[in-house]
Amino acid sequence: MIKEFLEIGQINGTHSIHGEVRLTPWCDSPEFVKRFKTLYFDDRGKESVTVKSARPHGNVVILKIEGTDTVEQAQRLRGKILWMRRSDAKLPDGTFYIAELIGCAVYDSEDSGKCYGRITDVSKTGANDVWHITNEKGEYLIPAIPDVVIETDVANDKVVIKPLKGIFDDED
Protein backbone atom coordinates (compact mmCIF):
# COMPACT_ATOMS: atom_id res chain seq x y z
CA MET A 1 0.00 0.00 0.00
CA ILE A 2 1.30 3.44 -0.86
CA LYS A 3 1.79 5.33 2.38
CA GLU A 4 1.74 9.09 2.73
CA PHE A 5 4.24 9.09 5.60
CA LEU A 6 7.22 6.77 5.96
CA GLU A 7 9.83 6.34 8.67
CA ILE A 8 13.10 7.95 7.67
CA GLY A 9 15.16 7.17 10.78
CA GLN A 10 15.63 7.39 14.51
CA ILE A 11 17.39 10.02 16.59
CA ASN A 12 20.06 8.14 18.52
CA GLY A 13 21.86 10.93 20.34
CA THR A 14 23.21 14.44 20.40
CA HIS A 15 26.10 15.83 18.40
CA SER A 16 27.03 19.23 19.78
CA ILE A 17 26.27 21.71 22.50
CA HIS A 18 24.24 23.67 19.94
CA GLY A 19 21.34 21.20 19.84
CA GLU A 20 22.26 19.06 16.84
CA VAL A 21 21.08 15.45 16.86
CA ARG A 22 22.41 12.25 15.31
CA LEU A 23 19.87 10.46 13.12
CA THR A 24 20.33 6.83 12.12
CA PRO A 25 18.71 6.78 8.66
CA TRP A 26 16.44 3.91 7.63
CA CYS A 27 16.76 4.75 3.95
CA ASP A 28 19.26 3.95 1.21
CA SER A 29 21.83 6.49 2.33
CA PRO A 30 22.40 9.41 4.69
CA GLU A 31 22.50 11.66 1.61
CA PHE A 32 18.78 10.99 1.01
CA VAL A 33 17.84 12.79 4.24
CA LYS A 34 19.35 16.06 2.96
CA ARG A 35 16.35 16.46 0.58
CA PHE A 36 13.91 17.30 3.35
CA LYS A 37 13.18 20.68 4.88
CA THR A 38 10.30 19.33 6.95
CA LEU A 39 10.11 16.05 8.86
CA TYR A 40 7.53 14.73 11.30
CA PHE A 41 7.39 13.07 14.72
CA ASP A 42 4.30 11.06 13.73
CA ASP A 43 2.90 9.06 10.84
CA ARG A 44 0.06 11.51 10.14
CA GLY A 45 1.99 14.74 9.68
CA LYS A 46 0.48 16.41 12.74
CA GLU A 47 3.77 17.16 14.52
CA SER A 48 6.13 18.69 11.98
CA VAL A 49 9.65 19.99 12.54
CA THR A 50 11.70 22.27 10.32
CA VAL A 51 15.13 20.95 9.39
CA LYS A 52 17.58 23.86 9.46
CA SER A 53 20.49 21.71 8.27
CA ALA A 54 21.29 18.09 7.52
CA ARG A 55 24.69 16.65 6.72
CA PRO A 56 25.90 13.07 6.39
CA HIS A 57 28.50 12.05 8.95
CA GLY A 58 29.62 8.49 8.24
CA ASN A 59 26.54 6.32 8.39
CA VAL A 60 24.44 8.85 10.35
CA VAL A 61 23.00 12.28 9.61
CA ILE A 62 23.67 15.31 11.78
CA LEU A 63 20.43 17.31 11.96
CA LYS A 64 19.78 20.77 13.24
CA ILE A 65 16.08 21.05 14.04
CA GLU A 66 14.50 24.46 14.47
CA GLY A 67 13.79 25.16 18.15
CA THR A 68 16.35 22.66 19.42
CA ASP A 69 19.24 24.86 20.49
CA THR A 70 20.81 23.17 23.50
CA VAL A 71 22.24 19.75 24.21
CA GLU A 72 19.51 19.28 26.84
CA GLN A 73 16.75 19.93 24.29
CA ALA A 74 18.46 17.60 21.82
CA GLN A 75 18.81 14.89 24.48
CA ARG A 76 15.02 14.86 24.99
CA LEU A 77 14.65 13.82 21.33
CA ARG A 78 16.77 10.68 21.74
CA GLY A 79 14.87 7.58 20.61
CA LYS A 80 12.27 9.53 18.62
CA ILE A 81 11.46 8.35 15.12
CA LEU A 82 11.30 10.88 12.31
CA TRP A 83 8.90 10.48 9.40
CA MET A 84 8.95 11.93 5.90
CA ARG A 85 6.08 12.81 3.60
CA ARG A 86 6.32 10.56 0.54
CA SER A 87 5.49 13.37 -1.91
CA ASP A 88 8.45 15.41 -0.61
CA ALA A 89 10.87 12.75 -1.88
CA LYS A 90 9.93 13.22 -5.54
CA LEU A 91 10.67 9.64 -6.57
CA PRO A 92 10.52 8.54 -10.20
CA ASP A 93 7.36 6.70 -11.27
CA GLY A 94 7.56 2.99 -10.56
CA THR A 95 9.86 3.46 -7.57
CA PHE A 96 8.65 2.22 -4.19
CA TYR A 97 9.87 2.08 -0.65
CA ILE A 98 10.54 -1.21 1.09
CA ALA A 99 7.88 -0.33 3.67
CA GLU A 100 5.34 -0.20 0.83
CA LEU A 101 6.38 -3.60 -0.55
CA ILE A 102 6.15 -5.36 2.81
CA GLY A 103 2.81 -7.13 3.01
CA CYS A 104 2.14 -7.24 -0.74
CA ALA A 105 0.69 -10.54 -1.97
CA VAL A 106 2.81 -12.25 -4.63
CA TYR A 107 1.00 -13.86 -7.58
CA ASP A 108 2.11 -16.00 -10.51
CA SER A 109 2.21 -14.28 -13.91
CA GLU A 110 0.80 -17.33 -15.70
CA ASP A 111 -1.82 -18.33 -13.10
CA SER A 112 -3.43 -15.23 -11.56
CA GLY A 113 -5.13 -17.36 -8.90
CA LYS A 114 -1.86 -18.75 -7.60
CA CYS A 115 -0.55 -16.76 -4.63
CA TYR A 116 2.94 -17.62 -3.42
CA GLY A 117 2.63 -15.68 -0.17
CA ARG A 118 3.45 -12.18 0.98
CA ILE A 119 6.60 -10.09 0.95
CA THR A 120 7.87 -10.05 4.52
CA ASP A 121 11.34 -8.55 4.08
CA VAL A 122 13.74 -7.15 1.50
CA SER A 123 17.49 -7.73 1.53
CA LYS A 124 19.89 -5.37 -0.22
CA THR A 125 22.62 -7.45 -1.86
CA GLY A 126 24.35 -4.83 -3.98
CA ALA A 127 23.60 -6.43 -7.34
CA ASN A 128 19.82 -6.45 -6.80
CA ASP A 129 17.31 -6.57 -3.99
CA VAL A 130 16.09 -9.95 -2.79
CA TRP A 131 12.46 -10.26 -1.71
CA HIS A 132 11.55 -12.63 1.12
CA ILE A 133 8.23 -14.31 0.29
CA THR A 134 6.59 -16.07 3.23
CA ASN A 135 3.66 -18.49 3.25
CA GLU A 136 2.50 -21.35 5.47
CA LYS A 137 5.27 -23.63 4.09
CA GLY A 138 8.15 -21.27 4.80
CA GLU A 139 10.22 -18.47 3.37
CA TYR A 140 11.39 -18.18 -0.23
CA LEU A 141 13.92 -15.74 -1.66
CA ILE A 142 13.43 -14.23 -5.10
CA PRO A 143 15.64 -11.75 -6.90
CA ALA A 144 13.89 -8.46 -7.64
CA ILE A 145 15.00 -8.33 -11.27
CA PRO A 146 13.01 -7.50 -14.44
CA ASP A 147 13.03 -11.14 -15.60
CA VAL A 148 11.23 -12.16 -12.39
CA VAL A 149 9.16 -9.15 -11.29
CA ILE A 150 6.52 -8.57 -13.94
CA GLU A 151 4.25 -6.05 -12.18
CA THR A 152 4.41 -4.11 -8.93
CA ASP A 153 1.11 -2.61 -7.79
CA VAL A 154 1.70 -1.43 -4.23
CA ALA A 155 -1.50 0.64 -4.32
CA ASN A 156 -3.38 -2.67 -4.39
CA ASP A 157 -0.89 -4.66 -2.27
CA LYS A 158 -0.09 -6.92 -5.22
CA VAL A 159 3.04 -8.08 -7.03
CA VAL A 160 3.11 -10.39 -10.06
CA ILE A 161 6.19 -12.54 -10.68
CA LYS A 162 7.51 -15.14 -13.07
CA PRO A 163 9.55 -17.21 -10.60
CA LEU A 164 12.86 -18.74 -11.55
CA LYS A 165 12.72 -22.50 -11.99
CA GLY A 166 13.06 -24.37 -8.72
CA ILE A 167 12.24 -21.61 -6.25
CA PHE A 168 8.71 -22.79 -5.42
CA ASP A 169 9.09 -26.47 -6.39
CA ASP A 170 7.72 -27.69 -3.06
CA GLU A 171 4.51 -25.69 -3.66
CA ASP A 172 3.00 -28.22 -6.08
Interval 12-67: pLDDT, tens? 999 988 999 999 998 878 888 998 999 999 999 999 999 999 999 999 999 999 99
What integer pLDDT is reported at residue 41 of this predicted model? 96
What integer pLDDT is reported at residue 168 of this predicted model? 85
On average, the pLDDT of the chain sits at 91
For residue 87, give the 3-state DSSP assignment.
helix
What integer pLDDT is reported at residue 170 of this predicted model? 67
Residues 43 and 114 in one domain: no
Residues 73 and 118 in one domain: no
Residues 80 and 130 in one domain: no
What integer pLDDT is reported at residue 171 of this predicted model? 62
Residue 164 CA to its chain's centroid (Å): 26
What integer pLDDT is reported at residue 136 of this predicted model? 94
Residues 117 and 152 in one domain: yes
Q: What is the pLDDT of residues 115-165, one digit of tens each?
A: 999 999 998 887 889 999 999 999 999 999 999 999 999 889 999 999 988
57-61 own/partner pairs: CB under 8 Å, 24+ apart:
57/15, 57/22, 57/30, 58/30, 59/24, 59/25, 59/30, 60/12, 60/22, 60/23, 60/24, 60/25, 60/30, 61/9, 61/22, 61/23, 61/25, 61/30, 61/33, 61/34
Residues 112 and 155 in one domain: yes
Residues 121 and 50 in one domain: no
Q: What is the pLDDT of residues 57-116, one digit of tens each?
A: 999 999 999 999 999 999 999 999 999 998 898 877 777 888 889 999 999 999 989 999
**DSSP state for residue 132 in the 8-state scheme:** E
Tell which of 55, 87, 119 closes a domain: 87
CATH number at residue 149: 2.30.30.240
Residue 92 is assigned to a structural domain of this protein: no
* Structure-derived torsion over alpha carbons of residues 11, 3, 84, 96, reported in degrees to the nearest 10: 100
What integer pLDDT is reported at residue 95 of this predicted model? 76
**Structural domain boundaries, residue 133:** 98-162
Tell which of 67, 87, 107 closes a domain: 87
What integer pLDDT is reported at residue 98 of this predicted model? 84
* Domains contained in the chain, number: 2
Residues 83 and 31 in one domain: yes
Residue 10 is assigned to a structural domain of this protein: yes
Residues 46 and 79 in one domain: yes
Q: Is this prediction's pTM over 0.75?
A: no
Tell which of 56, 87, 118 closes a domain: 87
Residues 118 and 144 in one domain: yes
User: Is the pLDDT score of 172 beyond 70?
Assistant: no
End-to-end CA distance of the chain: give it in Å, rounded.
Answer: 29
* Cα separation, 73 vs 51, whole angstroms: 15
